[in-house]
Structure 1
Amino acid sequence: METRETLEQAYSEIEKWEREQKDLWFWEKLGRLPFVLLDRYTPAAVQEKLGAAVDEIASYLEHGGTYLVQEKAVYERFQPYLPTGTAREPLSSTEVSRLPLATMDAVARDLRHSRAAFATVQGATTGIGGLFTLAVDIPLLVGTSLKVLQEMALCYGYRPEEKRERMFVIKCLQFSSSDIVGKKAILEELAAFDAQTVRSQTLAQLQGWREVIMTYTENFGWKKLFQMVPIAGILFGAYLNRSAVQDVAEAGMMLYRKRRILQRLRELGES
């Protein structure tokens, strides 16, 4: 297991990443005006898909639905990283939670790269028809985002089938597309996510899920304007979907990594 110094170094890396997230990206500076246009001129079919995305994420939050990932497939990715001579049996979440942080990071990075590659192909494919295939792309991107966040959770020994963990997934999803103010607020909310004194408050936040989801769909929805141009939408779709999934995966990896580090530091303090 890692020493306190190693964990503190890893934690400082996450703090640096968090500071970088608070700097407005070029797209976000342009952000709000295009979404007004999207809302006004986007055909009803696409707006309907955005609304359906809200309902689907709500369904995931409430009971998991079709978006829950298979633990076994994720846990099998740990096998090449286990010490030589270790029994090649499926790992449990408890066993994963006790693995070295470096092993968790390696599997999380592998998943991030493979899911980004999948999103690139997906975006290019649905970008062929521009506006006409955009309605297909939106739910696919939402589903991919939810699944990659659950995979990040499993990489660090957390169980996304639990309702409370699904709330953390939704917060990560919101974080990945929020502006500087939203990111700061979410980081403050998640800082004490595992503290006993605030667990009931976090569970109470489930009542406000629609606000969380609408923030996500609004912030990524306008970017899809660029994908509405036929043929050119192939390039825009590939780039936007890849960057979206990379951002989501990075947010999930860093925020779950931070939770695991803080938990291990608390355990060291108690020992």
Structure 2
Amino acid sequence: MSFIQKLEAIAIDTYEQIINRELMAWKKKILRKSGTFERMSKTAQNKMNTFIPKKVHGVITESVRNLVEAVLKGSKFVSKERDVSCLNLQQKDQWVKETIVTYRKTAVIEGAGTGAGGILLGLADFPLLLSIKMKLLFEIAGLYGFDAKKYEERLFILHIFQLAFSGEEKRRETLDIIEHWNETEHTRELDWQEFQQEYRDQIDFVKMFQLVPGIGAAVGAYANHQLLEQLGETAMNGYRLRILSEKE
């Protein structure tokens, strides 16, 4: 091994040590118990949900059902193939971060536009945002070298989504599945009704303000920025867990 190769190997080892520390901090955040303020916010959210029109709930439910079906069937979100076999984890991470920024900007523009258009366009934001989120996840899977044409990989993508947008108990359960993904067979079907309920419970309270005239554009832009940031962080760390687990 040449001197340059030794330096590169040291750099890779150092970067992976940094990633392991980041993963520990991220998992601690995922697994922490809800504080008093969060529990109060959840109670307020549940109360607010009773005032949300059935039409809104219906739009979200149907959008999520269609999304799960499209992902499991396969072809709709599969991105173009990229050869990333020559890239190390640090290089993949950088490409993924740049991709998250691009999709986040798209979501912000879309959220501001639909939020400014009143209740009908505000409702249209739900399926549009879901599509943006899922395209991002498929893109990230490819950049980390996983083939989303495979059913198992598409199922993993849905678990990443669920980890990003679920309540405390479901987050713990889903993180455990992701951490041990390489050790088990994945034949169990996803419960899309539970999937959509968890998603609705996590985003309803914020996104409802997007339907309010006068503030919808600002709320839509901010909410979409935060939601894409949250999803991107979850996806990056989910795939990092798999990659480092495979190396071990």
Q: TM-score, normalised by structure 1?
A: 0.79
1:172-195 residue CA offsets vs partner (Å, 9 max, x unmatched): 111112233322221111111011
1:17-48 residue CA offsets vs partner (Å, 9 max, x unmatched): 1112334486675134324433x333343222
Q: Tell me which of 100, 104, 107 is aligned to 2:95.
A: 107
Q: Identify the residue that residue 52 of structure 1 maps to in structure 2.
A: 62
Note the residue ranges of structure 2 that are not aligned, 5 or more in a row: 1-7
* Contact 2:179-2:241 at 8 Å conserved across structures: no
* Contact 1:35-1:221 at 8 Å conserved across structures: no
Amino acid at match of 1:186: T
Q: CA deviation at 1:162?
A: 1.4
Q: Identify the residue that residue 43 of structure 1 maps to in structure 2.
A: 53
Q: Identify the residue that residue 29 of structure 2 maps to in structure 1.
A: 20
1:125 aligns to 2:113 (yes or no): yes
Task: Tell me the SS of whatever aligns to 1:71.
Answer: coil
* Contact 2:103-2:136 at 8 Å conserved across structures: yes
Note the residue ranges of structure 1 that are not aligned, 5 or more in a row: 76-90, 267-271
Structure 1 vs Structure 2 CA RMSD: 2.3
1:188 aligns to 2:176 (yes or no): yes
From the superposition, tell whether residues 260 and 28 of structure 1 become closer, same or farther in structure 2 (CA, over 3 Å): farther
Q: Identify the residue that residue 235 of structure 2 maps to in structure 1.
A: 252
Amino acid at match of 1:193: W
Q: CA deviation at 1:2?
A: 4.9
From the superposition, tell whether residues 27 and 110 of structure 1 become closer, same or farther in structure 2 (CA, over 3 Å): farther
From the superposition, tell whether residues 48 and 213 of structure 1 become closer, same or farther in structure 2 (CA, over 3 Å): closer
* Contact 1:174-1:213 at 8 Å conserved across structures: no
Task: Tell me the SS of whatever aligns to 1:160.
Answer: coil
In structure 1, C-alpha distance between the alignment counterparts of 2:116 and 2:130, rounded to whole Å: 19
Q: CA deviation at 1:13?
A: 1.9
In structure 1, C-alpha distance between the alignment counterparts of 2:230 and 2:39, rounded to whole Å: 14
From the superposition, tell whether residues 135 and 102 of structure 1 become closer, same or farther in structure 2 (CA, over 3 Å): same
In structure 2, C-alpha distance between the alignment counterparts of 1:48 and 1:156, rounded to whole Å: 35
Amino acid at match of 2:181: F
Q: Identify the residue that residue 219 of structure 1 maps to in structure 2.
A: 202
From the superposition, tell whether residues 258 and 28 of structure 1 become closer, same or farther in structure 2 (CA, over 3 Å): farther
* Contact 2:123-2:211 at 8 Å conserved across structures: no
Mapping of 1:1-271 within 5 angstroms? 2=9, 5-6=13-14, 7-23=16-32, 24=34, 29-38=40-49, 40-66=50-76, 68-72=77-81, 75=82, 91=83, 96-195=84-183, 198-199=184-185, 202-204=186-188, 206-264=189-247, 266=248
* Contact 1:58-1:210 at 8 Å conserved across structures: no
Question: Percentage identity across aligned positions?
Answer: 23
Q: CA deviation at 1:163?
A: 1.2
* Contact 1:120-1:242 at 8 Å conserved across structures: yes
From the superposition, tell whether residues 60 and 15 of structure 1 become closer, same or farther in structure 2 (CA, over 3 Å): farther
From the superposition, tell whether residues 207 and 45 of structure 1 become closer, same or farther in structure 2 (CA, over 3 Å): closer
From the superposition, tell whether residues 255 and 135 of structure 1 become closer, same or farther in structure 2 (CA, over 3 Å): same
* Contact 1:127-1:233 at 8 Å conserved across structures: yes
Q: CA deviation at 1:104?
A: 0.3
Q: TM-score, normalised by structure 2?
A: 0.86
